[in-house]
Amino acid sequence: MITLEKIRPKIEALDAMPTVPAIIQPLTSMLRLPPEEVSLDKVVMIVSYDSTLTAQCLRMANSPLFGRLNTETVRSAVIALGLKRVEAILLGCCLNRIVPPDKWVLDRMTFWRHSLGCALVSSRLAKLIRYPDPEKAYLAGLLHDVGILVNTLACTDEFRKCVQAARDGHLELDRSEAEHLGFTHCQSGRILAKRWNFSADVTEVVEYHHKVAAAQTAVPLVALVHLSDLLCRLRDLGYGYYEAISVDLARDQAWTLLVEHCPALAKVDLARLTMDIDGAMDEIVTTVDAVFKPQA
């Protein structure tokens, strides 16, 4: 049996791979400065260096979710998106490149539909429940499944079998991983999150989004992304196969934890909330497809 220890060196080597673009360092350190010290000109310049990043920023800014701005310049796209959204797009681009085109196990578009879908639902849910940092929720939703990319790269054949078993049995992916690999994408994702210096709360989301009760400091964020992940998988933005799941959301541990942090939630009409999110799904799919097509 393959173990996490055996693949750890492979995972830790990922950031040395030449496919990780050189811009990740200057841009993320720039974006971590206090907002008044960030130079918009420099951000625009850095983004413009990378054609994929430029294209994705423009497509996102021109997507229905941003009201189809018809933006043509990087500068106006960056302003419309906001710096945090630009950072999320950057990380998505970098992650997209660590998997060579012929190596994807979950289909590339399926993976990004799920990840970007989860990001959009997370930020929408964050606003609905008045979570203080919707952009953080967006980033955490986008990155929560990086472990799937790690498994794709570090143990491609074993992971392929594991996904096939999940597909055949309509199983949840993490259950199939635990059975066939002995570890889940949460555990392998955590190693990458640490190596790539994800913030502590996003790292917790990566590690605990299938085990919310184990979250330590970022409990509301982990719970929020867990629920968004579930909602996406329940609404055709999952892993590309049918998962035989039924969820009593109001009794889901994540919902209970969120209610503890935000008592007003107990009164939320869950049927209406989920119908609101259902309503947004079509636009989310349109946006994801616009941003990630063609091959980035």
Partner 1 sequence: METGTAKAVTKPGAEDLSDPAYLRIRDVIYQASGIYHPDEKLYLLAARCARRMSALKASTPAQYLEQLAFRGNREAELRLLLNEITIGETYMFRSPAQLAALRNVVLPQILEAKSARGFKRLHLWSAGCSTGEEPYTLAMFLLEESVKLLAGWSFDILATDLNDNSLTVAKAGIYGEYALRNTTEQLRRKYFKPHDDKRLQVNDQLKSLIRFDRVNLSNDSKMTCLKGMDLIFCCNVLIYFDLSSKRKVIQHFHSNLLPGGYLFLGHAESLYRVDDRFRLVHFPGGIGYWKPPAGYAGGGQP
Q: Which amino acid is at 42?
A: K
Match 């400065």 to its residue by tokens: 33
Residue 181: what are its φ and ψ, rounded to 5°?
Answer: -105, -25
- 38-43's contacts with Cβ under 8 Å and 24+ in sequence apart are 38/83, 40/75, 40/78, 40/79, 43/78, 43/83, 43/86
Indicate the residue among 157 and 267 with the shorter CB distance to partner 1.
Answer: 267
Minimum Å distance from CB 247 to partner 1? 5
Indicate the residue among 222 and 277 with the shorter CB distance to partner 1.
Answer: 277
User: Near partner 1 by CB under 8 A, which window of 36-44, 45-53, 142-150, 274-282?
Assistant: 274-282
Site map 62..101 versus partner 1, x via CB under 8 A:
--xxxx----------------------------------
Which position among 274, 289, 290, 296 is part of the footprint of partner 1 (CB under 8 A)? 274
Match 């209970």 to its residue by tokens: 256
Minimum Å distance from CB 190 to partner 1? 23
Classify residue 241 by its DSSP letter: S
Residues, the chain? 296
Does residue 233 interact with partner 1 by CB under 8 A?
yes
Rounded Cα–Cα distance for residues 40 and 36 (Å): 10
Does residue 266 interact with partner 1 by CB under 8 A?
no
Does residue 165 interact with partner 1 by CB under 8 A?
no
How many CB atoms sit inside 10 A of residue 71's CB?
A: 20
Which residues make up the interface to partner 1 (CB under 8 A)?
A: 64-67, 120, 123-124, 127, 170, 230-231, 233-236, 238, 242-253, 269-272, 274-280, 282-283
